Structure formats: structure tokens, C-alpha cells
Amino acid sequence: MNKKYIFLLAVLSVFFSCGTRESQLDYMKNIENLAIETSQQTNKNTLQPGDQLMISVAAEDMEVTAPFNQNPRSSELSAYSNGRTNILQQNQVSVSGPMYTIDTNGNIDFPILGQINTTGKTLEDLKKELQNGILVYVKNPTVNVRLTNYRISILGEVQNPGYFTIPGGEITFLEALAMSGDLTMNGKRENILIVRNEDGKISKGYVNLQDADFINSPYYKLKQNDVIYVSPNKSKERQAKQNPNLGIIMSAVSVGISAVAIVVTLINKN
């Protein structure tokens, strides 16, 4: 009888103390084979309706650039911001300048030059087009174009979920992951969802961090308003379904079984 109780105690202790843990936490195991190929990629983000652009024009004689720098919607461009609070990070500054919002037809109204269409163009494309147009009026102009409302959202099993403002207008999936503090131990690394809204069309893709081939995917370089969702693994799902008092209950049961085993042992000795 004594052995039976001790065996039962051992089985229950092992059963409730052990849990399934994700063991494959390594990222991009075959990265060496793809690093060179990826470094040659030139996938660029194109401008979208609703994008807010800060455009400033400079030259040796700043007086002649004044007509191109007049815009009543002058605003500030924030540096990288944190998720949740969206506050500026330390040692970073804000700059201000004329603002332009791309309308539903992909156009902006720029002083002197008039209506400029941005459809299918990158920031660099627009910069060159504006520079060529201004060159007719200004000698050796310098045009600076920045996307001010570029942001992404990272949700689910990451250390720091929230939305992040990216002033440069470009960010990769891995850079976004770093900004969020990386995945938690409970996040699925082989099936991360990315939802994208581009030209009014919703698409979605999945990223497998355990396979370096994802850096060749169209979702490696993120786009404006991309949403990343890291779903919980099976271990976290089981935890969510459990009674929050289960640990206390099982501890009490374990103590009870131990007490019974001790009593039975004493009875057998007598």
C-alpha cells in the first residue's frame, strides 16, 4: 500500500510540474546562404494616399527659395518613438517644415510647380522630380522630402507592443522586432502574421523566423501602416485556459497526498 501512494505522488508531481516549452528559439538558421542575395535587393516603398510629407527647399541664396517653403500646415517631425507611450527616445530631436498630404488621387499641390502626382513613386523619385522642377527657378536647389506619419503596429507576444513612428520611411521586419524588444518566450516564431493595406487593398503574409528565406519575402521590408501580430504558442494558450488558482490547488493536493503517504507509512510500520 505504501508503495502505491508514493508512486501516485510521484506521478502527480511530474504531471503538474512539467509543461510543454518551445525549444526552437533560434532565428534564421540558414542565414549564411541568403545574406549576399538579400544585400542586393532594391525593394522600395512607394508613396500612398494619406501620407504626410515634409518638403523643404534650400539653396545658396535662401531668399529665392522662400516661395517654395511657404505652406500654412507647417508641423513637426518626430524622431523614432516608442510603442505604448509613443514618446521620443533620448538624445533625439524634432525638426519642422512645410507639410503636404497626398490626396486620394495621389497628388500634392506644391508652390509654383502646381499639382504633382506621387503614384508609384518613392521618396527619392519625388525628390528628384521636385528638384528638376525647381531648377528652372533656383540655381542648384537642394530638396529634402520626409514621410512624417509612417508608422507600424506590433501586437501580441512581444516585449513592448504598440505602434511605432518611423521618420525615415523605411524599416525592415527585423528592425521592427528589435524596436518592440523581441518576442516573448510565449510567442510563435514560425508563424508571425503581417497585415498590409496598400492602395486600398488588404493583404496578409506570414513570417517564419526560424527560416532565413523570409528575408526574400515582400513582407521583409515593411510598409506604411503594416500590422505585425505575434500569436501565442500552445504553452501560453494552455495557461490562458487554466484556472488562475490551479497552482494553489495543485500545491494543496500535493501536500495532501504527501500527508496521506506519511500516514500510511506510519500505519504499515505499526
Q: Residues 196, 202, 208, CA angle at the centre, nearest 5°?
A: 45
The share of the chain scoring above pLDDT 70, in percent, equals 61
The SS3 of residue 96 is strand
Contact present, 190 and 234 (Cβ < 8 Å): no
Q: What sign does the dihedral 156-162-99-59 (CA atoms) show? A: negative
- Beta strand pairing status for 227-230 and 151-156? parallel
The CATH number of the domain covering residues in 52-147: 3.30.1950.10
Please state the pTM of the whole predicted model.
0.62
pLDDT tens digit sequence for 141-176? 999 998 888 889 999 999 999 988 887 778 899 999
> Where does the pLDDT of residue 32 fall: very low under 50, low under 70, confident under 90, or very high at 90 and above?
very low
What does the pLDDT read at residue 31?
A: 45
| pLDDT for residue 85 | 47
